[in-house]
Amino acid sequence: MPTEPVTAPTDEQPVVEPPPLLVLRDGLPEITETPEALAEVVRRVAAGTGPVALDAERASGYRYSSRAYLIQLRREGSGSALIDPIAFDDLADLDAAIGDAEWILHAASQDLPCLRELGLEPRALFDTELAARLLGYPRVGLATLVEVVMGRTMRKEHSAVDWSKRPLPTPWLEYAALDVEVLVELREVMVAELAEQGKERWAAEEFQHLVDHVPAPRAEPWRRTSGIHKAKGRRGLAAVRELWTMRDQIAEQRDTTPGRLIPDAAMIAAANAMPTTRAALLDTPGFHGRGARRFADRWLAALETARQVPDHELPPLTMRSDAPPAPRVWAERDPVAAGRLAHARELVTAYAEEHRVPVENLLTPDYLRRVMWKPPVTEGDAATVTAAVAEDLRRLGARAWQVEITAPMLAAAVLDPRPAEPATPAEAAQPIAQPVAPAE
């Protein structure tokens, strides 16, 4: 087969060199896994100055828990440290050494729970991912930001490895150490950009919310099974519930991620087929592999439990919720509410675009829908309605900066709803997803 001739680059076709690779400034630190080594890290951190860059590596996709299997930190005057948290009961001494210093994290909400399990509690923090969102960066992954802001390339090939493995390979540790190498410098750039765009207060309130907020446990977590809308009737939902609960118990006992035992799709298939024998179960789509065979008797027991549930105790098709219905049916159910929502979305979206901030960061979409579905008042002067809407937004959890910006917009929509077109038959026929809890 003829091939295309290879032409040398010309002035019109310049070779674009990739940004230089980010490398460790001080070399790779030894992993901290003894009391003596931890005491030395604590001493160095206490002697350092300024904020502390922190990161945690979990074994998502491999282990049941979300515990940290490696902690990375760096502080000016302290250098970097890699701590194996499995070797220690807690890291309370490290927490005391950090004290009131600001933490710098990327995507803090992912790491805070496992850090808190170890006795590490932030008093103040700066989230580089959240700051990037508020600043209007189109992509906010750490590697992308480092390339755009700092002109360096980061390797990310170890981002999804099994961090519970011991000993941890050197390339993994180098990858982990680099994650905190850049955070202090990235923070400095973003602090200046937040000031330039007048968004310092926005960021400060969002960061404080991360420090203060403790997510509530999810109600009926089994309802988050992928594809659950395909389960047939309430009996099918009961079967999904029992299979999910059994899988969760086994996964916790074996410290493995539930999906490695049997996938969600297999549970839905079994809930609809309701097999009664081992052979029939293992013929069900998705029931293959060691987890399906080894625990076949327990999967069958879960299905039998579902068969025995009295009709009046079967789970409802949807969770009871005070959330408004899906927006696509508002025009049919309450045209005025649909008009309020349309106008409010128009105003909020326009502000978000003008100020280069994602709409969902300007105001949580669930909060907007709740206020527009059932406004606290529907009549009065603008100041009265704005005050009532502002109180509703604060009650729902909106931060002060969000309330100040969006309450007047929502009040304007309450006082001047725009006509909304009713949903088409195809849209109205779509299943309505019921949220498990108000979105944060």
Beta strands at 79-83 and 68-76: parallel, antiparallel or unpaired: antiparallel
In whole numbers, what is the pLDDT of the chain averaged over residues? 91
Mean predicted confidence (pLDDT) in 226-235 = 96
pLDDT tens by residue, 50-90: 999 999 999 988 999 999 999 999 999 999 999 999 999 99
Tokens of 57: 């590596």
Q: What dihedral angle (degrees, nearest 10) is formed by the CA atoms of 237, 242, 246, 251?
A: 20
The 10s digit of each residue's pLDDT in 341-377 is 999 999 999 999 999 999 999 999 999 999 999 999 9
pLDDT confidence tier of residue 37, bands split at 50, 70 and 90: very high
Q: What pLDDT score does 10 carry?
A: 56
Q: Can you tell me the distance from the alpha carbon of 8 to that of 278, in angstroms, rounded to the nearest whole number?
A: 65
Please answer whether residues 176 and 68 qualify as being in contact, where contact means their C-beta atoms are separated by less than 8 angstroms: no
**Across 416-427, average pLDDT:** 63
pLDDT digits (tens, 9 = 90+) for 245-288: 999 999 999 999 999 999 999 999 999 999 999 999 999 999 99
Mean pLDDT (whole number) for 107-128: 96
